[in-house]
Each structure stands twice: as structure tokens, then as C-alpha cells.
């Protein structure tokens, strides 16, 4: 079974430039998550989708971050414009079911963003 796929793996951009990350979840997983992981810290949730609906985006900085999950499968996370403090690893994860279930989340390898 293929795991969660993310691209690119690494991205270096100058501040004020836009950047986009792509995630393809495990086939059949209806719930998709985007996390931010700063160096030396644990992942923090940015947004959670159940199918194509964003059910939790309370931690997404909406002035510069946006996300979409068209057709409830793959997803794109965008930053525009990027700031120096956005340098981090962006992780995507997927699971079988949201709501009250406690289903294991499967993580992709992440995209390491460096803003110069």
C-alpha cells in the first residue's frame, strides 16, 4: 500500500514569494491533516479536512495561508507571501475516519521549507 505522498520534499524561497505544497493521502482515507513542525518541536495542526470540508482550521493563519482539498482526495497548502518565520517542515497526514473515532494517522515525509 502506498503511503502519504508529499511534494516537494524541499523548497527554498525568498521572503514575500508564494509557495505551495501538495499532498496525496492514502487511498480511501477520508480525513486529511496539515501540520506545521518547527525545529525541536512537535507537529501542530494547521487544518483538518473530512472529505472536502475543512472541519478545523482554527490554527491556520488565514491572512497568508490557504488550503484546499478539491474532490476530497489530494490537497494543496499555500503560503502567500512567505515570511522568514514560516521556515519549518510541513507535514501531511491522513486517516480513515474523523469525528469521535480514534483512528491512527499516517504521515507523509514532509516538505522542508526554507525562507531566506
Partner 1 sequence: AQSVTQLDSHVSVSEGTPVLLRCNYSSSYSPSLFWYVQHPNKGLQLLLKYTSAATLVKGINGFEAEFKKSETSFHLTKPSAHMSDAAEYFCVVSESNDMRFGAGTRLTVKP
Q: Which residues bind partner 1 (CB under 8 A)?
A: 3-4, 31, 40-45, 48, 56, 91, 93, 95, 98-110
Of 67 and 98, which CB lies nearer to partner 1 in the complex structure? 98
Of 72 and 81, which CB lies nearer to partner 1 in the complex structure? 72
Q: Coil, strand, or helix at residue 19?
A: strand
> CB of residue 108 vs partner 1: minimum separation in angstroms?
6
Compute the Cα dihedral for 100, 104, 108, 110 and give only its sign: positive
Closest CA to 114 of 22, 24, 38, 4: 38
- Residue 48, number of CB atoms within 10 A of its CB: 22
Of 11 and 64, which CB lies nearer to partner 1 in the complex structure? 11
Amino acid at each position: 500500500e502506498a503511503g502519504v505522498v508529499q511534494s516537494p520534499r524541499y523548497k527554498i524561497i525568498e521572503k514575500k514569494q508564494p509557495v505551495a505544497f501538495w499532498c496525496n493521502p492514502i487511498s480511501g482515507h477520508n480525513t486529511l491533516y496539515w501540520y506545521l513542525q518547527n525545529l525541536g518541536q512537535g507537529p501542530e495542526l494547521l487544518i483538518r479536512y473530512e472529505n472536502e470540508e475543512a472541519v478545523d482550521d482554527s490554527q491556520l493563519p488565514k491572512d497568508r495561508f490557504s488550503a484546499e482539498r478539491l474532490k476530497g482526495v489530494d490537497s494543496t497548502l499555500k503560503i502567500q507571501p512567505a515570511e522568514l518565520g514560516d521556515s519549518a517542515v510541513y507535514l501531511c497526514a491522513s486517516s480513515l475516519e474523523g469525528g469521535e473515532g480514534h483512528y491512527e494517522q499516517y504521515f507523509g515525509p514532509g516538505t522542508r521549507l526554507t525562507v531566506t
